[in-house]
Amino acid sequence: MTRATFHYDKVFALELGDEIQNLQIEYSAYGKLNSDKSNVIWVCHALTANSDVSNWWSGLFGEGSVFDPSKFFIICANNLGSPYGSSSPLSDNSSTSKKYNLDFPELTLRDCAKANLLLAKHLGLKDIHLLIGGSCGGNIALEMAYLLNLRVEHLVLLCSAALESPFNIAVHEGQRMALEADCSFGTQKEAAGSKGLMAARGMALNFYRTFDSISESQREESAEVTNNFKASSYIRYQGKKLVDRFDPLCYYKLLNTLDTHNIGRGRKSIKHALSKIMCKTLCIGIDSDILIPAQEQKFLADFIPKGKYVEIKSNYGHDGFLLEFDQIKQELIKFLA
């Protein structure tokens, strides 16, 4: 794996009217380009993931698998706003030599897609064999496919949608309220916002999984338990895990960014925008997903001209796109064949 940072030496204009100076995009790449640069797999990562695809999608990665570095040039860029090296609230503002913090410009997912295209141009990539993403990453991939049009050969969208639903925006607002309730959030104090982030993650996890999966994995062995429940410990543990690897300011800004997603904005309508995506497209839904239900993927497949829908059965809900490796692998193999 090669890890590098692309520095853009021009002003990066944002969709909502602001701009980023000294834009930087941290990315990871695996394998080598072939002579005609036709073996590119571009992966867009989810909300709190990073560019190391071999880590969080390990079941699809490796020799003989779908993401095979011996055959393909596989690239993933850290999303703008994330704390893993791309421009974010943790970046230095060159004009003041201070961190942006909450003053970091508001982004849209369209900005994230356009930043990825700047990186592709920098690397001399004109065509993409496979463009793939799940959840937030799928939404970014959808925007990239619209902008690139026929330069994408295959598009795969997992647990994503044409726009951010009112349901999801409501979930995000609850998480923002949890962050704002932490009086240290947005300050220069050590570990500022950590308690808010822990609570926000705990709220989200229930929508990432299902009633059955949590009930089965966190069931008490004794009927006499009246406190210190396994389910309570599990939620706190998952919140602490995110605090240890993510930043509260980045999380807050990324929730705002997610809410802007609408493929039809400024493009007549959602259906009209989807009709312009002419690449061969596979939309994968999960039957138990309550965050982005399968109907959202069916809608994409219905209005993307070369769209196809398949459904995966999973007990894990939305997180199934990160866990159901075998089923996803089989669908990808059939699609790419």
Active site residues: 135, 289, 318
- Annotate the chain with three-state secondary structure: CEEEEEECCCCEECCCCCEECCCEEEEEEECCCCCCCCCEEEEECCCCCCCCHHHHCHHHECCCCCECCCCCEEEEECCCCCCCCCCCCCCEECCCCEECHHHCCCCCHHHHHHHHHHHHHHCCCCCEEEEEEECHHHHHHHHHHHHHHHHEEEEEEECCCCECCHHHHHHHHHHHHHHHCCCCCCCCCCCCCHHHHHHHHHHHHHHHCCHHHHHHHCCCCCCCCCCCCHHHHHHHHHHHHHHHHCCHHHHHHHHHHHHCCECCCCCCCHHHHHHCCCCEEEEEEECCCCCCCHHHHHHHHHHCCCEEEEEECCCCHHHHHHHCHHHHHHHHHHHHC
The Cα 141–Cα 149 span in angstroms is: 11
Angle at the Cα of 329 from the Cα atoms of 324 and 335, rounded to 5 degrees: 130
How would you classify the pairing of strands 12-13 and 19-20? antiparallel
